[in-house]
Structure formats: C-alpha cells, structure tokens
Structure 1
Amino acid sequence: MGDTKSQYQKIINKSRKIFEDKNSDYGSSWRILRIISLVDQIHIKAQRIRNLQNNISNRIEEGQTSEFYGIINYSIMGLIQLEIGVVDEPDLKLDDIFKLYDKKVSQTFELMIAKNHDYGEAWRDMEVISLTDLIIQKIFRMKSILKNDGKTSVSEGIDANFQDILNYSVFAQILLKE
C-alpha cells in the first residue's frame, strides 16, 4: 500500500501542476460550467481514450496519459462545483481554487485508502481498458442521476461517481507507467 500512496501522490502532483498552469492562463473560467458540462468533458476525454485503445488512428499527438490527467482535473472541478455551486462569472482567486483542489484531492485520497483496504488493491490486476470502461459507465450513471434531478434511491450520488472516476484515472496512470 505504501507504494500506491507515493504513486498516487506523484500522479496528483502532476495533475495539480497542470491545473495550476491552466488556472494561471484562464483564471477560474471553469467555474461557470454546470455539472453536466463537466460530465460531458470527462465523457469526451474517456471516449478519446477508448478510441486510442481500440487502435483508431489519431490526428492529435496527445495520448492516453494526457487525457487521464484531464479527467482527473475535470473530476476535481466537478467536486468543487458540487460543494460551492456554479456561478455566472469567474469568481475565485487562485489561492482559494488551490485550497479547494487540495481539499477534494485529500477527501478522494482517503476514500481510495479505505477502498484499497477493503478490495485488496484489486485494480492492480485490471487492464487500463477496463478502467476506461468503468469511467464511461460512471459517466452514463451520472447523466441518469442528473436527469432525475440528482436524486437516487439506493445508488451513490454524483460526488461519489466523480471520486471513483478520479481514482480510476489515477490507477490507469499508475498502470500505464508500470
């Protein structure tokens, strides 16, 4: 488990650096995105990963790795939006954004630790393709939940799905590096 923690942190550190750079360029413009828009952005990236995995030729040089980083960051944006709400105009200072980012990462990391304990790091025996499929499945679940005004009878909510997608993306990055 110790190795997983350090591997996870390395992926998150790179994700955060990308997030910092984008926020330095664009500010908090992403704050206007509604939850469905963030889900759709994740869907686009996951579908591109799936196409790359199916050996469909690509015209953009970025591969799976950059797309998984995008999914990680869109998932964190979604978690932030769920907590503080969507706005009509960018409203957060960089320091506030990064505090919220770190908070959501910390909460999701703790969830990963708990699930890894219970599941015995089963993800290490999975294929990256399977993790991609699980991400896409979570996207369709989220779209269904959103069509039901965010209500579920027995299932996890949108936040849990964003956290799972984030963790699956980190796992995929770890597996791609091994």
Structure 2
Amino acid sequence: MVKADTESQLLRQFDHIRDYCFQLFKGKNADYGPTWFLYRFQSLNDEIWRKAKRIRTLEEHEDQACIPEGRDVEYVGIINYCVMFLIKLDGVAGLPSGDDIAENLEKLDEVDEAVLFSAYQTQMARVRDLLIKKNTDYGDAWKSMSLTSMTDQVIIRVYRIRKILRNKGRCTVSEGIMAQLYDIINYCVFALIKMEADLVFRG
C-alpha cells in the first residue's frame, strides 16, 4: 500500500512538471513559432549541454548568478529541448523536417499546432511509462541521489548522444539516442522534485 501511494505521488509530481513544461512550450510556440525545427541534432544536443553546464556552474558557486534564472529554469529548458529532439527523431507525420523548412521558411507558418502538441504529449507519455518501469526496478533509488549526481547523469548522457551522433546513430551494444533523452528528462524531473521547485509546484 505504501509503495502504491509513493508511486501515485511520484506520478502526480511528474504530471505537474509535464503540464508546466507543456504550457511553456505552447507559450514559446505562440511567441516564436516552431523555429526549433531549424536545429540540427547536434545543435539541440548543444543546447541541452549549455543548460546542464550552467546548472553545474551554479551548483559549484552556491547559486550565485548574474542573471535571475536559477537551476529550476534550466532543468525545465532541458526537458523541453529533449522533447523537441525526440519529436525530430520520430519524424512525425504532418510535421516538416528541418531541411524542408531551411528551403522554405514559410513552412514554419504551416505547422499544425494540434499535430505538434499531440507529438509533445506522445513523447511525454512515453517518458512517464518509462519512469514507472524504472522506478519499479530501481526502487526509488533517485531519492538517495544528490542533485549534483543528477546533473552529472544529464551531462554524461549529453556526451553519449554526441558520441552516437558522430557514429551516425550506430550503437554496438548500447541504447540509442532516444533512450538517453528519456533518461535525461527523468533525471530533470527527479531534480525538480527534490528541489521542490517553486517555479513548477507553486508558480
């Protein structure tokens, strides 16, 4: 019974974070349009790296920053960049490729928001399903991890993706890019929960 209650709480927290990230994704889409389609895979990975590196820098300098955004903002940004990466990897029917848009920027204005937002929710549903399975197998191990360890796990996976991209997506015995992105999202979710991030839970 306790295990079921703990899992239910984790899923409620995940759903809260997902909903916050999705609303931010929708808001930025309204402001800028889906310009992120122009990113190539390495560029998306670099954006994730940039945010993870800033989190690590903030951790090492006791959150002293020159700009107001804290680690929570960066974790949320990483989640959304990972979802963008996953959508591009999936090649969703009805959504253009980056090459298509680079040839004709007007295609950005033709992106169907319903298809795009559905693709976002599909990816987060997959992440949620994986969260349940891994948490069952590992038994809430994340609760005893430090935030700095979670940041390092994100950075390690960013490097793995960089290596896989250099190998043109080929892996000999390891999981591919999607698995790395799913793990990154879940570590960011765990970090936001451990931080009790005001941005997400009380914002």
TM-score when normalising by structure 1: 0.96
Q: 1:10 aligns to what?
A: 16
Give the structure-2-normalised TM-score.
Answer: 0.85
Residue among 146, 152, 168 paired with 2:187: 168
Q: 1:72 aligns with which of 75, 79, 86?
A: 79
Does residue 39 in structure 1 map to residue 37 in structure 2? no
Task: Give the Å deviation of 1:34.
Answer: 1.2
SS for the counterpart of 1:150 is coil
Gaps of 5+ in 2: 1-6, 102-107, 198-203
| 1:154 maps to 2:173 | yes
Identity of aligned residues (%): 39
Q: Secondary structure at the match of 2:150?
A: helix
One-letter amino acid matched to 1:133:
D
Give the secondary structure class of the aligned counterpart of 2:10: helix
RMSD between aligned residues: 1.3
Shift of 1:162: 0.6
Cα drift, residue 92 of structure 1? 2.1
Counterpart of 1:23?
Answer: 29
Matches of 1:128 and 1:103, distance apart in 2: 28
Residue by residue, what CA displacement relative to the aligned partner does 1:66-92 show, whole Å, maximum 9, x if unpaired? 000000000000100100173232352
Aligned equivalent of 2:149: 130
Q: Check whether the contact 1:28–1:93 (CA below 8 A) recurs between aligned residues.
A: no
Larger Rg: 2
CA distance in 2, matches of 1:162, 1:78: 8
CA distance in 2, matches of 1:159, 1:36: 14
Give the gaps of 5 or more residues in structure 1. none
Q: Higher relative CO (CA 8 A, sep ≥ 6), structure 1 or 2?
A: 1
